Homo-oligomer: A and B are copies of this chain.
Amino acid sequence: MTFTLNWGILGCGGIAETFTKDLLLDPKSHRNVDVIHKVVATGSSSSVDKAKKFAETTGAKDAKHYGSYEELVKDENVDVIYVATPHSHHYANAMLALEAGKNVLCEKAFTVNAGQARKLVETARAKNLFLMEAQWTRYFPLSIELRRMISSGELGDIKQIFSDNGKSIEHIDRITNPNLAGGALLDLGVYSFLHIFQTVYHLDPEHTKPEVKAAILKDEKTGVDKFTTAILAWPGTTAIATCNYSLESDPKSDYSAGPCVRIVGTKAQVCIPSPPYRPTSFTVIPNGDGEVQKNDFPIEGGNGMWWEADEVAFCIRDGKKESEIMPLDESVVPGGARDVGCEAHGTLTSRWKANIPLSHRSGIRSNSYIAHYYTNRQRLWVTPIPQPNQ
């Protein structure tokens, strides 16, 4: 029996447009699922005309239009709110929707720190609502096959993971604006973390928290994080992960520099060519005599965001309050790693300060980490301190 899910779109920017267009594609042209997505409402924080124009552009012809998010989340026909605002606003907007009793799909980066993530999760659970971070790449058939290969033991024990996402996006104003949570971390780093977490943390039955050490270069003018290299290691496993993200390390934007992700197991390794947010193939390089094998996962007729939308529909249809593919605990724990990067922003706004108890003085313990020492004005080493309740 076909299940219909009614969406309200909160925010009318580029990512909302891409998502909504994918959402409204005929699923039968792409995949055989018994789900229909309807966009019943669109909301802009600035004007109802913008919400209306957005609906027309994306093909959401029967949607109601709202000039404020407060009105949008009250629409009784909406089953789930898709939050597609800048990172700095995710927490407030998702909280607004949850408090109005709506299920929520929130764009990644879920929040700017783990504390905000925990509060959203607590609120959703208290209100018995569905909540999910929109890490769309996790729902790709490519990702599903990759996780299956790891959990089945085909790659052996996972020992090292290299995950890199570098792109020249400094020309986008938001990216270098600390007031909008700019920097490499929340736009690019989330994908570097994604591949590490979905393959190591996600598949570890013990769900041990990673230990993180990172070197971060800040932009001299804006103070946002520009180049970061972090090592993540898991006390409960032997895996070591290298997480890189930067605003300049893919000068050609064609990822000519090689694979963005390598997962090294004792039996074989997997190399994923770029881009890390929308990979369409991976190569399996076995130890010993086996052949190198390329596996293709083409994405046709759109961008491939329908898979995460379908996951939302399946969960809500089946009464689930979170996704097994993107569990809420994983949105909180990577948030812990993200806190390392948040420190690099340096110029915290009052909005952030309310939720991030950070200290900038060397050697002073904050809520979640210790900043070991500054090496110069642009770089710092940071090491998070494991928290009992994290």
- Residues on A close to B: CB < 8 A? 159-160, 162, 164, 166, 168, 211, 213-215, 217, 226-229, 231, 233-236, 238, 240, 242, 244, 246, 248-249, 251-252, 256-259, 262, 264, 266, 268-269, 271, 283, 285-288, 292, 375-376, 378-379, 381
A376 to B214, CA, bound (A): 21
CB pair A256 B292 closer than 8 Å: yes
Contacts of A381 in B (CB 8 A): 211, 213, 233
A69 to B127, CA, bound (A): 80
CB pair B229 A160 closer than 8 Å: yes
23 residue pairs A–B, Cβ–Cβ below 8 Å: A159-B248, A162-B244, A166-B264, A213-B381, A215-B240, A217-B240, A227-B240, A229-B242, A233-B375, A234-B375, A235-B375, A235-B376, A238-B379, A242-B242, A246-B264, A251-B287, A252-B286, A256-B271, A257-B259, A257-B269, A257-B285, A258-B259, A258-B262
CB pair A264 B249 closer than 8 Å: yes
Question: Which of A234, A238, A244 has the most C-beta atoms of chain B within 10 angstroms of its own C-beta?
Answer: A238
Of chain B, the residue at the smallest CB distance from A220 is: B238
A251 to B252, CA, bound (A): 29
Contacts of A244 in B (CB 8 A): 160, 162, 242
Name the distance in Å between A269's Cβ and chain B's nearest Cβ. 6
Which one of B234, B257, B268, B379 lies within 8 Å of A240 (CB-CB)? Answer: B379
A260 to B381, CA, bound (A): 25
Of chain B, the residue at the smallest CB distance from A271 is: B257
Question: Which of A217, A271, A288 has the most C-beta atoms of chain B within 10 angstroms of its own C-beta?
Answer: A217
A376 to B248, CA, bound (A): 36
CB pair A251 B268 closer than 8 Å: yes
Contacts of A286 in B (CB 8 A): 251-252
A160/B251 contact (C-beta < 8 A), A235-B375, A257-B271, A287-B168 known? no
A248 to B246, CA, bound (A): 28
Name the distance in Å between A222's Cβ and chain B's nearest Cβ. 15
A286 to B253, CA, bound (A): 11
CB pair B258 A271 closer than 8 Å: yes
A376 to B237, CA, bound (A): 9
Of chain B, the residue at the smallest CB distance from A375 is: B235
Of chain B, the residue at the smallest CB distance from A241 is: B229
Name the distance in Å between A146's Cβ and chain B's nearest Cβ. 16
Question: A211-B375, A214-B231, A235-B375 given. 11 additional CB < 8 A pairs?
Answer: A159-B226, A159-B248, A211-B381, A227-B240, A228-B240, A231-B231, A233-B375, A248-B266, A249-B269, A252-B285, A257-B259
Question: Which of A215, A246, A283 has the most C-beta atoms of chain B within 10 angstroms of its own C-beta?
Answer: A215
Contacts of A217 in B (CB 8 A): 159, 238, 240
